[in-house]
Amino acid sequence: LIATGVTTAEASLAVGVSWPVGARWFRHAGGMPPISLAEPSGRYLTFEEREEIAILRAMSKGVREIARALGRDPGTISRELRRNAAT
């Protein structure tokens, strides 16, 4: 019930126990599973790659040179630079 968004107190009452007991059960069961901390797939640029693109661009490096340095397609770098041109 808690995973669906119900509060611990409401979930406890729904299963017929007091909220302190429900909270204790929830803690002993491990609580909510953590958000996925897995590395993003290779499809998306990482924060570090975006930083590197910004640094290399500030050093007046070209799109193809940046792409070679990061092992990415030049189109990916070009789109990233175009999306973030104002920042």
Instruction: Give the per-residue SS3 of 44-59.
Output: CCCHHHHHHHHHHHHC
30 and 51 both lie in a single domain: no
In this predicted structure, the answer to whether residue 16 has a pLDDT above a threshold of 80 is yes
58 and 30 both lie in a single domain: no
2 and 25 both lie in a single domain: yes
- Structure-token pair, residue 47: 């924060």
Q: Report the pLDDT value the prediction gives residue 87, as an integer from 0 to 100.
A: 59
* Structural domain for 7, as ranges: 1-38
CB 15 within 8 A of CB 1: yes
Split into its structural domains, the chain has a count of 2
In this predicted structure, the answer to whether residue 51 has a pLDDT above a threshold of 90 is yes
Q: pTM (2 decimals)?
A: 0.53
